[in-house]
Copies of this chain bind each other. A is one copy, B any other.
Amino acid sequence: MTQFEYAQKGTVTSLMRAVAKREGISARTLCRLLKAGTAVIPHNNRRSISHPCAIGAGLSVKINANIGTSTDETDLKDELKKLAVAVKYGADAVMDLSVGGDLRAIRSRILAASPVPLGTVPVYEVAVNADKRGGDSLAFDYRDVLAVLEAQAQAGVDFFTIHAGVTRASVATLRKQKRLLGIVSRGGAILASWMARNKKENPFYEYFDRVLDIAQAYDVTLSLGDGLRPGSIFDATDKGQLAELKLLGALTLRCRKRGVQVMIEGPGHVPLDQVVRNMELEKKFCHGAPFYVLGPLVTDVAAGYDHIAGAIGGALAACHGADFLCYLTPSEHLRHPSVEDVREGVIASRIAAHAGDIVNRIPAALAWDRKMSIARSKRDWKTQLRLSIDPDKARAYRASSQPQQSDVCTMCGKYCSIKLMECAGVVHR
């Protein structure tokens, strides 16, 4: 039985209890959220996760870090380092998006090493297997798709991105309009290419009941992918994107009917004034399912700093219903990310999620800022450094520039406003 099915029966599981404790809510409350489908716990029933989490309404906003090889960069050691760094700096989940090297071996190592839920995009393996068989990444059929899903579920993958919304109908909607950038999702592009060549419906859509069988058997959470997400701010919230989103809403109900946990993936490149509307549309069309957004990036020109462009959109999204933020690294649009890029991406995303948690009045988030401000008012540097989002960096910065008076910093030195106020006795706490 899946966690969703237990919740339907009102059964509080040990997993719910563990996750609720970490979240600072009662297991009963979490069970109710799972029952309503407004929260999920991505956790394959074959796997044991030391740091499981729940994602959804009323919970702290979670973040995901994408790792994995590419066809150009296939060093497994690097990917394991990225996993360790992502987890160290606070990623709540990780996706292995490998498309280079021995995918099964890579995934197996990452699964073994990951203390957090692990997601994949199974169509990548389908395409890579086809390419290895005959040099043609599109030479696959629905049986290959189902075989990969079964094998990955059996291996312990906790959530699957399934691009079942890239259908003949939604692609036709997309083609009718002018987009600057057509399809920018790798999975979406593979499937749209396959459909164009074979003149057939998307196998993930056509065989969705078979997908659900597998997801239900292993309690793999389905993350319904946005294969038609905008890749330019000029393509945001267009008919193609919304046609897919509505379809994902219909699939959400099919998942729930079969006892399968489901969340929805979202954009992408979105101007800041369309972010809130995107959150509202998802909650409406997809029946309150958790929303997992990529950014959103609020401009197309921030290559080298897309973690910042994404944190801006992600923070506002998190205030208005986004439940799960996929990080972006400074490498986005430029190269396969380095270990250092992963660190920067995770931290930027955590800041965005935390900004949302503050607005959503998550008690632990508020307590963190309160403690920091109190430490600042006391010029208690040890506590300030410990409470910084990245204590290592904060300590290194402070060590690099030491003040003559140890209770201030070198920014203001003897003109530290907090110290001036204390000396003058003007403002007391």
On A, residues with C-beta under 8 Å from B are 70-73, 99-100, 124, 127, 137, 171, 174-175, 178-186, 188-190, 192-193, 196-197, 231-235, 271-273, 298-305, 307-309, 311-312, 315-316, 319, 330-338, 347-348, 351-352, 354-356, 358-359, 368-370, 372-374, 376-377, 384-385, 387-390, 393-394, 397-398, 400-404, 409-418, 420-421, 423-429
Contacts and interface: CB of A to CB of B under 8 A. Distances in A.
A106 to B, nearest CB: 15
Contacts of A184: 417-418
B373 A424 contact: no
Nearest to A233: B369
B410 A72 contact: yes
A271 B368 CA distance: 14
A351 B351 CA distance: 16
Contacts of A335: 397-398, 400-401, 409-411
Contacts of A235: 373
B181 A336 contact: no
A273 B99 CA distance: 40
Contacts of A188: 417
Nearest to A358: B271
Contact of A308 (B231, B338, B351, B415): B351
Copies of this chain, complex-wide, total 2
Contacts of A390: 304-305
B401 A72 contact: yes
B351 A305 contact: yes
Contacts of A271: 355, 358-359
A426 B228 CA distance: 12
A193 B427 CA distance: 10
Contacts of A190: 415, 420
Contact of A300 (B312, B373, B385): B373
A178 B337 CA distance: 46
A169 to B, nearest CB: 14
Contact of A413 (B99, B374, B416): B99
A34 to B, nearest CB: 27
A180 to B, nearest CB: 4
Contacts of A394: 303-304, 334
Give 6 closest A-B pairs by Cβ, nearest first.
A182-B427, A71-B413, A189-B417, A232-B373, A193-B424, A335-B401
Contact of A417 (B171, B186, B417, B418): B186
29 contacts: A70-B410, A72-B404, A100-B413, A137-B415, A174-B427, A175-B428, A179-B427, A181-B373, A189-B418, A192-B420, A192-B421, A272-B358, A299-B354, A300-B373, A301-B388, A303-B384, A303-B385, A304-B390, A305-B348, A305-B393, A311-B311, A316-B316, A332-B411, A333-B409, A334-B394, A335-B401, A335-B409, A336-B409, A336-B410
